[in-house]
Structure 1
């Protein structure tokens, strides 16, 4: 059986500890900001994006990973006799998955996985793949199981402001102003059957009250939660809110591991600062 390389788009938002522990390789998206080009989470961070927006009202453009980039990235491993499991940002949100499939058709031994998800929703698939590699499953078996498992992953996040969705053309200025004035904080859910994003509950109040309500509502929606892992992902938020989220999770469900990670620039630039989300699995 061939050895397997585990890889993912950088938008899976795994932290450095998990990347090192599970030997995950990742390829960054390209960020275009203020006439400069950066590699996501390599030489630019969400904090820098928010600073530029605050000073100049400029949002970045993100560039999907193209065919040539994937080809150059994968080919040395294929030439060395490896097979590759690569988890992509959901195809409903980017052309990267389709570009990855084009390369996989040419370089045999690559298994692109459409996560039907984003951020740490796809990270949960990466961790599942890592465990299956350790168990000795073949790349084909891992690919089949990941594709079957996608609908067991639940990813959502709550926004502190609609300013960035408005700036990116995803909501009207009237909606943005109204939500901010009324202190409405909407939840965005990821549809794990398609990867599209849908509007969920709209909470009203301070961020600390909303975070508690949001997490309790999400975890109460399922009675078959897998208690192995849960992710808290944020775009840059005070540590007090992270601790509040951790405590709320543990008061509701006794997860073995709570992972905290910062969302990539590709994700954060659409959400804005103080965004916080959770991702978990059901059985």
Structure 2
């Protein structure tokens, strides 16, 4: 039987421990900051981005690997006769999936999957794929099942300040100023059918209380949640905020595993610090 290699774009935001646990290989996206180009999660960190913004008021541009880069990346496995299941950043927000598909057509034995998602919304699908590989499922069937499952991923985040979204051209100056002035913290929800992001509930008040209310809104009283795992993913926030969200989760849902990860550069450069999301799969 051919060996199946599990791969994902760096935007899956799995930490090193989880990548090792599930044998995940990552293709970094590009981070273009000033006149320099970096690789997401390799030679630049979110804190580097925040520090540069504070000093110079510039934010990076992010870009997908091109088809040639994907070909070179996959080829080291396909040349050995292996198959590759690759989970891409949602096609609604990146050309990653399209470029991975071009590489797959060139090489064969590569199964790109459009996650329709970002961050650990992707990460949840990566873990689901890993579990199917361990069970001995063929690559084509894994691709089919993950494509079916992606509509069941619930990914959302609460944004503390709209400064980075405004600077990145994703909301108007008036909207950002009004939200920051009124202490409004919007919940950004991912539409898994398109990968697009929509504004959900708008919270008002201090961040710790907002995060508790948001977590309750997402989890309380629901019977449709798959309780294998839940992610708390943040772009850099206090241990107290993380602990409060974790405690709230434990009060309302009996997950087998609560995984805490920090978002990488691609996600953090768009949302800024103190963004936090609770992400899970439904039945």
TM-score by length of 1: 0.99
- CA drift of 1:221 comes to 7.1
- 1:95 aligns with 95
1:156-208 CA-partner distances (Å, limit 9, x unpaired): 00000000111011111111111111110000000011111000000000000
* 1:233-272 → structure 2 map (5 Å cutoff): 233-272=233-272
1:37 Cα offset (Å): 1.3
* Equivalent residue, structure 1, for 2:38: 38
RMSD: 0.8
Cα separation, 2, equivalents of 1:115 and 1:172? 28
Which whole-Å CA distance do the structure 2 matches of 1:130 and 1:161 have between them?
35
Change (3 A) 1:173 1:53: same
Q: Is the 8 A contact 1:222 1:282 kept in 2?
A: no
Whole-Å Cα distance in 2 between the matches of residues 43 and 106 of structure 1? 29
Which string of whole-angstrom CA distances, capped at 9 and with x for unpartnered residues, describes residues 108-163 of structure 1? 10000000000000100000000000000000010000001011110000000000
Does the 8 Å contact 2:226/2:282 carry over to 1?
yes
Q: Is the 8 A contact 1:4 1:82 kept in 2?
A: yes
Deviation of the 1:35 alpha carbon: 1.3
The equivalent residue for 1:20 is 20
State the distance in 2 between where 1:4 and 1:192 align.
25
Please name the residue that 2:215 is paired with: 215
Q: Under a length normalisation based on structure 2, what TM-score does the superposition of the two structures give? A: 0.99
| 2:20 corresponds to 1:7 | no
User: Helix, strand or coil: the match of 1:7?
Assistant: strand
Distance in 2 (CA, whole Å) between partners of 1:37 and 1:222 is 44
Instruction: Tell me how far 1:28 sits from its aligned partner.
Output: 0.5
Distance (whole Å) between structure 2 residues aligned to residue 95 and residue 226 of structure 1: 30
Deviation of 1:223 (Å):
2.1
Q: Could you list the runs of 5+ residues in structure 1 that have no partner in the other structure?
A: none
The whole-number CA distance in structure 1 between the counterparts of 2:221 and 2:231 is 17
- Number of residue pairs aligned between Structure 1 and Structure 2: 283
Q: How does 1:18-167 map to 2 (within 5 A)?
A: 18-167=18-167
2:182 corresponding residue in structure 1: 182
- The 1:169/1:221 distance shift into structure 2, 3 A limit, reads farther
- Separation in 2 of the partners of 1:65 and 1:243? 36
Q: Secondary structure at the match of 1:227?
A: coil
Q: Which runs of 4+ in 1 moved over 3 A?
A: none
Q: Distance in 2 between matches of 1:217 and 1:112?
A: 33
Q: Distance in 1 between matches of 2:222 and 2:195?
A: 20
**Of 218-227 and 263-272, the range deviating more from structure 2:** 218-227
8 A Cα contact 2:221 2:252, kept in partner:
no
Q: What is the CA-CA distance between 1:65 and the residue it aligns to?
A: 1.1
Q: Which runs of 5+ in 2 are unaligned?
A: none
Q: How many angstroms apart in 2 are the aligned matches of 1:190 and 1:223?
A: 21
